[in-house]
Chains A and B, each alone.
Chain A
Amino acid sequence: MNEMTPNQSERAEKLKGLGSSRKRVEDVRFTQGKGNYVDDIKLPGMLFGDFVRSPYAHARVVSIDADAAKALPGVVAVLTAADLAPLGLHWMPTLAGDKQMVLADGKVLFQGQEVAFVVATDRYAAADAVELIEVEYEELPVVTDPFKALEPGAPVLREDLAGKTEGAHGPRRHHNHIFTWEQGDKDATEQVLSGADVVAEEMIYYHRTHPCPLETCGCVASMDKVAGKLTVWGTFQAPHAVRTVASLISGIAEHNIRIISPDIGGGFGNKVGVYPGYICSIVASIVTGKPVKWVEDRMENLMATAFARDYWMKGRIAATKDGKITGLWCHVTADHGGFDACADPTKFPAGFFNICTGSYDIPVAYLAVDGVYTNKAPGGVAYRCSFRVTEAAYFIERMIEVLAIKLGMDAAELRRVNFIRKDQFPYHSALGWEYDSGDYHTAWDKALAAVGYEDLRAEQADRIEAFRRGETRKLMGIGLTFFTEIVGAGPVKNCDILGLGMFDSCEIRIHPTGSAIARLGTISQGQGHATTFAQILASEIGLPADDITIEEGDTDTAPYGLGTYGSRSTPVAGAATAMAGRKIRAKAQMIAAYLLEVHDDDVEWDVDRFVVKGAPERFKTMKEIAFAAYNQAIPGLEPGLEAVSYYDPPNMTYPFGAYVCVVDVDVDTGVTDIRRFYALDDCGTRINPMIIEGQVHGGLTEALAIAMGQEIAYDEMGNVKTGTLMDFFVPTAWETPHYETDWTTTPSPHHPIGAKGVGESPNVGGVPCFSNAVNDAFRAFGHVHAHMPHDHWRVWKIAHDLGLHG
């Protein structure tokens, strides 16, 4: 771009476009309690739904007696699978090509599974009725370990699949096996491994956790029987997809269904899936003719709606003696719970886990993933990451550390010698991706210089000596991570969910007085879309961001899109916004030329106006052009100024980052103090630096939670041990460290404005960075790897097993 004159800069600044730390427009209503979340919706005659849930992880449902509940004042209806079966709604399709019980059909497969749905005039009556429903169960053997689930004599979990040897993703080789997904070159990889100088091997478990947005999942379904129209307000990260699925499941014509995502109190992947509560609320509204609200409580949220991770990742990495990686082998045992309800693009049953070669130039690799049923809740959503990318990043960043130990090499140097070089982009990875752009060495050097890496290692060495002399009981750990994400799903040629291509959209209307409204197929859950998408447009069409309304989430008004998750909003809908803006500008150019009485080619764009080339004093501002679009009869042009763009991205985007964490670990208590955390992110073109920094802080804190204590743990009976916020770790302001943020800028070459997306990078990079720091603290004592979460007891156990307690 040419340098701007002072006059141009001044005009550009007024637009608050790209690069402006514009304050958020959402905050005026949120800060005074005027948000409008699902549970704030109150409709006349509205009823409340509540679930009877299974206390057992695996059991037959012998009988359900709801007579006492039905007799309770205020109770309107009790639904069971028997009531839904005639409608064909006792089971529903999952996003992963499997099916899931809406209400227990003869048996239950996980603790907290939905068994009956009560509808009552208020939430207290509904809760009372739940207590009155008597369900008789016959317990069955429970399996919560995916390896045991694949043993020959393991209990049969999915009796409905008996004899089915073909699943949605290929052959099934065992009654609890879901799929095998293979990528890369198995023979070539095994050949490299067998002849390598050095092979490091490790089993790396990324434990089961949960996105736990502060607002739980819920909906209000309202069937207007007179108009034949169903409206559902809900915590939906993908409202259009919900509409299409609701139409396919219910048989209600799609134009008679309106899905509205109002304000959403955080999503982090938890609100992508379709849950039994939505189906039951819709059915209950159809049956009763009244609006029905269902909002789960926190325990229901943690026990029954979509979990994340639960990947057992066996890795083998080969290298030369001087540390050049020659091959990577990985096998994943993926615990999907009782139903396969993963939220992944159809052709990717393990998401984009094949980004697991990371930021490194690895010539050959092989990956196989086996999906397994267990008696745990279904899910497998992308908790603040693109599909399975945080598992992949954790895997490779731990394997690099394990290899560094095996080689006796500095882990920063090992990364440096294996990075994909700047001149190798676009880079084709051994597992099939085309990385769009990157400059890893520059980012790495900047990060290491910023933290004073050499000095930190010297300090660590001194600390180890002091520890050995008995002068301190605290060890110092230095966590390093260099991650590459793959986000912005995705190209329609290989990315769809339930057959719906993963494009996205933007529709813009310019009003006569020079303000505008733009509607998108995405939906903000706190990311600040109303602020940032207006900034993209401001730079494209030269109207101030403050004069542009952004609207999302109402399927009756917004153009079709696949929603917000996997950091896809900026890469896909942001691109659609820029492209729609360019269509506006193209028409504006013709209008300007007409008004200025010159040829279209004789005017050029100048920040917020078209000027006559060589005569900058002759111009028409976008505001003037907007008015002209509605009051001039221009030969050959239709009146009005509107545009719509459906954007099918040519490729994913590949944000990256370099993180360093310094911790002090008390070997006697296992308490880990985060002394310092430095995060450098490269998300391509930066739209709003203030919002980017906020996204990084938030993602790092979710990473801190996951790495240091947050888990969904089960006992051998399949009881959830972490079903409340008492047991499920969510950091407070007290545990959360202060973060230092930094950046480099490597634009995406294929995105219209070069943006890559940032919301999930800090979680993807943060988890391995915290974990590497804890593991690194014990490296000098022969420690190689410990599974997350690194809570006090588990860290104490590392020290204990190393004999550090004397």
Chain B
Amino acid sequence: MAKTHIKMTVNGQPVEALAEPRTLLIHFLREELGITGPHIGCETSHCGACTVDLDGRSVKSCTLFVGQAQGAQITTVEGLVNPDGSLGVLQEMFREHHGLQCGFCTPGMITRAHRLLQENPAPSEEDVRFGMSGNLCRCTGYQNIVKAIMAAAAVLRGEKEAAE
């Protein structure tokens, strides 16, 4: 099948490659670019393990063709690490509050939470539960994920005392 010239920016790095137009964004990221943080859990947009940030929106990369991301700015969980290599605030709070177990949903969860907190920096618990409802987790029962996101929101708002 003829290939298309794809250009995008992933985690701040410009990327150019040839890909079949029907290639799904998740396969392009994982297999062409070796970015394996986003995972495949269902291939039907239900589970959210493949969630990435595309031009300031959370998208499920298992149901986007790579061509739909032409020229886009994409951020994956790998791009949420601090410049010095340490864990970003959300990553640290997920660890601190035991917001993960098998780790398979975690990259999608954290990437979605990152966008949620951009959209709503001071969410209620209900806001977090609703805002995260596109991402499934089979291990944690969500309670500690919600706790981690609330704690990260507090830290990001500079309310470090509240996060203790």
A635 to B84, CA, bound (A): 51
A675 to B87, CA, bound (A): 36
Cβ of B104 and Cβ of A37 under 8 Å apart? Answer: yes
Q: Which residues of B sit under 8 angstroms from A216, Cβ to Cβ? A: 41
Cβ of A31 and Cβ of B141 under 8 Å apart? Answer: no
Q: Which residues of B sit under 8 angstroms from A214, Cβ to Cβ? A: 39, 41, 47, 49, 102, 104-105, 136-139
**Main SS at interface, chain A:** loop
Q: For residues 105 through 151 of chain B, which have their beta carbon under 8 Å from a beta carbon of chain A? A: 105-107, 110, 128-130, 132-146
A213 to B41, CA, bound (A): 9
Known A23-B96, A724-B44, A734-B133; judge A528-B141 contact (CB<8 A): no
Nearest-neighbor residue (CB-CB) of A524 within chain B: B102
Q: Which residues of A sit under 8 angstroms from B42, Cβ to Cβ? A: 297-298, 724-725
B41 touches which one: A215, A693, A702, A726 (CB < 8 A)?
A215
Q: How far is the CB of A593 from chain B (nearest CB, A)?
A: 42
Cβ of B143 and Cβ of A739 under 8 Å apart? Answer: yes
Known A214-B49, A733-B132; judge A39-B39 contact (CB<8 A): yes
Complex interface bits, A188-223 against B, C-beta within 8 A gives 1, otherwise 0: 000000000000000000000000111110000000
Cβ of B102 and Cβ of A733 under 8 Å apart? Answer: no
A263: Cβ under 8 A from any B Cβ: yes
Known A30-B100, A32-B91; judge A266-B76 contact (CB<8 A): no
Nearest-neighbor residue (CB-CB) of A31 within chain B: B91
Q: Which of A32, A263, A739 has the most CB of B within 10 A?
A: A32
Q: Which of B39, B128, B138 has the most CB of A within 10 A?
A: B138
A264 to B78, CA, bound (A): 19
B40: Cβ under 8 A from any A Cβ: yes
A738 touches which one: B39, B77, B143 (CB < 8 A)?
B143
Nearest-neighbor residue (CB-CB) of A525 within chain B: B102
Cβ of A698 and Cβ of B138 under 8 Å apart? Answer: yes
A268: Cβ under 8 A from any B Cβ: yes
Cβ of B102 and Cβ of A701 under 8 Å apart? Answer: no
Cβ of A266 and Cβ of B104 under 8 Å apart? Answer: yes
Q: Which residues of A sit under 8 angstroms from B138, Cβ to Cβ? A: 212-214, 266, 268, 698, 702, 730
Cβ of A35 and Cβ of B101 under 8 Å apart? Answer: no
Q: How far is the CB of B65 from chain A (nearest CB, A)?
A: 12
Q: Which residues of A sit under 8 angstroms from B98, Cβ to Cβ? A: 23-24, 690-691, 693-694
Q: Which residues of B sit under 8 angstroms from A733, Cβ to Cβ? A: 128-130, 132-133, 135, 137, 142, 145-146
Known A298-B41, A690-B98; judge A265-B103 contact (CB<8 A): yes
B143 touches which one: A32, A265, A295, A697 (CB < 8 A)?
A697
B22: Cβ under 8 A from any A Cβ: yes
- What is the size, in residues, of chain A's interface with B at 8 Å between Cβ atoms? 57
Q: How far is the CB of A197 from chain B (nearest CB, A)?
A: 42
B46: Cβ under 8 A from any A Cβ: yes
Q: Which residues of B sit under 8 angstroms from A425, Cβ to Cβ? A: none
Q: Which residues of B sit under 8 angstroms from A691, Cβ to Cβ? A: 98
A124: Cβ under 8 A from any B Cβ: yes
Cβ of A298 and Cβ of B102 under 8 Å apart? Answer: no
Q: How far is the CB of A296 from chain B (nearest CB, A)?
A: 11
Cβ of A266 and Cβ of B129 under 8 Å apart? Answer: no
A31 touches which one: B22, B100, B132, B139 (CB < 8 A)?
B100
Q: Which of B41, B77, B140, B146 has the most CB of A within 10 A?
A: B41
Q: Which residues of A sit under 8 angstroms from B67, Cβ to Cβ? A: none
A23 to B87, CA, bound (A): 14
A781 to B144, CA, bound (A): 39
Cβ of B136 and Cβ of A730 under 8 Å apart? Answer: yes
Cβ of B104 and Cβ of A31 under 8 Å apart? Answer: no
A660 to B49, CA, bound (A): 32
Cβ of A697 and Cβ of B41 under 8 Å apart? Answer: no
A181 to B103, CA, bound (A): 40
Complex interface bits, B60-80 against A, C-beta within 8 A gives 1, otherwise 0: 000000000000000011101
Nearest-neighbor residue (CB-CB) of A212 within chain B: B138
Q: Which of B27, B37, B78, B102 has the most CB of A within 10 A?
A: B102
Q: Which of B39, B42, B95 has the most CB of A within 10 A?
A: B42
Q: Which of A213, A266, A697, A733 has the most CB of B within 10 A?
A: A733
Q: Which of A266, A693, A699 has the most CB of B within 10 A?
A: A266
Q: How far is the CB of A694 from chain B (nearest CB, A)?
A: 5
B43 touches which one: A297, A730, A734 (CB < 8 A)?
A297
B81: Cβ under 8 A from any A Cβ: yes
Q: How far is the CB of B107 from chain A (nearest CB, A)?
A: 4
Q: Which residues of B sit under 8 angstroms from A183, Cβ to Cβ? A: none
Complex interface bits, A17-52 against B, C-beta within 8 A gives 1, otherwise 0: 000000110111111111101011010000000000
B36: Cβ under 8 A from any A Cβ: yes
A693 to B141, CA, bound (A): 10
Cβ of B37 and Cβ of A32 under 8 Å apart? Answer: yes
A294 to B103, CA, bound (A): 21
Q: For residues 525 through 541 of chain A, which have their beta carbon under 8 Å from a beta carbon of chain B? A: 525-528
Cβ of A39 and Cβ of B40 under 8 Å apart? Answer: yes
Cβ of A33 and Cβ of B142 under 8 Å apart? Answer: no
A40 to B31, CA, bound (A): 9
Cβ of B129 and Cβ of A32 under 8 Å apart? Answer: no
Q: Which residues of A sit under 8 angstroms from B133, Cβ to Cβ? A: 732-734
Q: For residues 625 through 661 of chain A, which have their beta carbon under 8 Å from a beta carbon of chain B? A: none
Cβ of A32 and Cβ of B78 under 8 Å apart? Answer: yes
Cβ of A698 and Cβ of B139 under 8 Å apart? Answer: yes
Q: For residues 87 through 101 of chain B, which have their beta carbon under 8 Å from a beta carbon of chain A? A: 87, 91-92, 94-96, 98, 100-101
Please list the residues of chain B having a beta carbon within 8 angstroms of any beta carbon in chain A. Answer: 20, 22-23, 27, 30-31, 34-44, 46-47, 49, 76-78, 80-81, 87, 91-92, 94-96, 98, 100-107, 110, 128-130, 132-146
18 contacts between A and B (CB under 8 A): A23-B98, A27-B100, A28-B87, A30-B100, A32-B91, A33-B38, A215-B102, A264-B102, A265-B105, A697-B142, A698-B101, A698-B138, A698-B140, A698-B141, A726-B46, A732-B134, A733-B146, A734-B129
Interface contacts beyond A33-B38, A35-B103: sample of 7 additional A-B pairs, CB < 8 Å, sorted by A: A31-B91, A32-B37, A214-B47, A298-B44, A699-B141, A726-B44, A726-B46
Give 8 nearest A-B pairs by CB, closest first.
A33-B37, A526-B102, A265-B104, A30-B103, A697-B141, A526-B101, A725-B46, A701-B141
